[in-house]
Amino acid sequence: MQGAVYKKTKRMTNEKKRMNTYMTQEQVAPYAKSLGIELTNLSPIQRNKYCAIGKGILRDGTPCIIKDYGKSDPKLAQLEADSLSFYDNISTTVDGLKSCGLLAHNPEENLLAISFMSGESFTRYVYKSIFSNTRKTIALHHAETIGTLLRELYLRGPASTEKELGDFMREYLQHSTDRLRNIPILGKLCLGKNEPSVQTLLSGATESGERPSFCHGDCVPRNAHSDDSGIGLIDWANTSEQSHILNDIYNLLTALQNMIIPPTYKNQIIQALSDGLGDLAFDIRLHRFFYEYHRRRWLMLKLYARRPWPLAQALRGLATFAKPFSPHHLGALKRHIKP
Ligand SMILES: Nc1ncnc2c1ncn2[C@@H]1O[C@H](COP(=O)(O)OP(=O)(O)O)[C@@H](O)[C@H]1O
Ligand SMILES: [Mg+2]
């Protein structure tokens, strides 16, 4: 049974017919049995490096999400299950935050059933709100709700036992930095002569004395589902206790900065996010680390996509928001630097 969604998705992606075909009852039944839920339909959405994702329908008509981790490390599905339960607890305490709970988990079969979060990506919601003041007001509330959620994740997330950020953070920053340096001409625009080395950034983060903290790990507007009634975060597969909430904040900031919306509106969104974060404040060296981590990662991904649109985005970024770290590029988020 394992991999049925996986194979189906692969074939359908090739045929560009995603979501059009439902799996047969014989294919759906084993998922229902393994998860102990009354699943009547299952249609593939997509797959990533670790799992196949499908949309299921329960007998009472409620939609749900099925993730089939197949032969991937069962720790990954366990991590997503634990993080979802943690998020679902928080969602009951934050106004306007959509819930997203774990419906079932079969560790032996490496399967998860997750409740479906309605709504569209926050990116779409924001673009559609540009010409409606009512929707703009709601979008600003949503940005504040996400800020409040991040604050809660920081304050209530499992405490890290380590004093330093996880190796993954250093390795990925090194990877992005090396790849940027290898790009002729443009590489020099991304990383000037006086750019701090990865070692300098990391020692700064460590010397700051700030402890690592829990983070969502993929906090981008496309993982935020929103409608007029609220907003919530999906995709809890990349959480870490050895990172920091600034990881989520700068991931979100970079994605928001990349959006083409009126600057005043963008600044209002960033201000609302900051309002939600409340009085959280961290050492400037930790800000520098995560700002550079996301700036370099974003530029590297855009430039290595080798397509005109991402290249145009990278050039626009370099001319505007993706400049080397300086507190005045942070706009409203500057107040989250410890004095
Ligand atoms: N809980 C959910 N509710 C609604 N849609 C979901 C949910 N989880 C996943 N999806 C849909 O599946 C897509 C991929 O799932 P996601 O968990 O974000 O995996 P990936 O890591 O591949 O981005 C999402 O963009 C969304 O369309
Ligand atoms: Mg996602």
Tokens standing for residue 272 = 């609302």
C-alpha 249/C-alpha 273 separation (Å) is 9
Looking at the chain, the whole-number percentage of residues with pLDDT higher than 90 is 89
Please report the DSSP string for 9-49 in residue order: HHHHHHHT-TTT-PPPHHHHHHHHHHHTS-EEEEEEEEE-S
pLDDT tens for each residue of 148-171: 999 999 999 988 888 899 999 999
| Nearest alpha carbon, ligand 1 atom 19 | 235
Q: 97 pLDDT band (50/70/90 cuts)?
A: very high
| pLDDT at residue 53, as a whole number | 96
Q: Which ligand is nearest to the CA of 220?
A: 2
Distance 208 CA to ligand 1 centre (A): 36
Q: Is 223 in the pocket of ligand 1 (CB under 6 A)?
A: yes
| pLDDT at residue 26, as a whole number | 84
Q: Is 139 in the pocket of ligand 1 (CB under 6 A)?
A: no
pLDDT tens for each residue of 242-287: 999 999 999 999 999 999 999 999 999 999 999 999 999 999 999 9
Atom of ligand 1 nearest to the CA of 45: 12
| pLDDT at residue 189, as a whole number | 93
Q: Which ligand is nearest to the CA of 98?
A: 1
Tokens standing for residue 196 = 């701090």
Q: Is 102 in the pocket of ligand 1 (CB under 6 A)?
A: no
Q: Report the CATH fold assignment for 4-115.
A: Phosphorylase Kinase; domain 1 (3.30.200)
Q: 31 pLDDT band (50/70/90 cuts)?
A: very high
pLDDT at 9 over 60: no
Distance 328 CA to ligand 2 centre (A): 30
Q: 6 pLDDT band (50/70/90 cuts)?
A: very low
Please report the DSSP string for 116-159 in residue order: ---SEEHHHHHHHHTT-HHHHHHHHHHHHHHHHHHHHHHHHSPP
Atom of ligand 1 nearest to the CA of 118: 4
C-alpha 258/C-alpha 316 separation (Å) is 9
Average pLDDT over residues 309-331: 96
Which residue ranges make up each domain of the chain?
4-115, 120-336
Rounded to the nearest 5°, which phi and psi values hold at 287?
-60, -45
| Nearest alpha carbon, ligand 1 atom 27 | 45
* Under 8 Å between Cβ of 51 and 81: no
pLDDT at 61 over 50: yes
| Nearest alpha carbon, ligand 1 atom 15 | 235
Q: Is 48 in the pocket of ligand 1 (CB under 6 A)?
A: yes
CATH homologous superfamily of domain 120-336?
Aminoglycoside phosphotransferase (APH), C-terminal lobe (3.90.1200.10)
Average pLDDT over residues 44-48: 93
Q: 4 pLDDT band (50/70/90 cuts)?
A: low
| Candidate of 235, 238, 239 to mutate for ligand 1, largest count of ligand atoms within 8 Å of Cβ | 235
Q: What are the beta bridge partners of residue 77?
A: none
| pLDDT at residue 148, as a whole number | 98
Q: How many helices (H) and strands (E) does the chain have?
A: 12, 10
pLDDT at 30 over 90: yes
Q: Which residue has the higher pLDDT, 295 or 158?
A: 295
Length of the chain counted residue by residue: 339
| pLDDT at residue 126, as a whole number | 98
| Candidate of 19, 45, 53, 225 to mutate for ligand 1, largest count of ligand atoms within 8 Å of Cβ | 53
Q: Is 9 in the pocket of ligand 1 (CB under 6 A)?
A: no
| Candidate of 58, 103, 234 to mutate for ligand 1, largest count of ligand atoms within 8 Å of Cβ | 234
| pLDDT at residue 1, as a whole number | 34
pLDDT at 143 over 90: yes
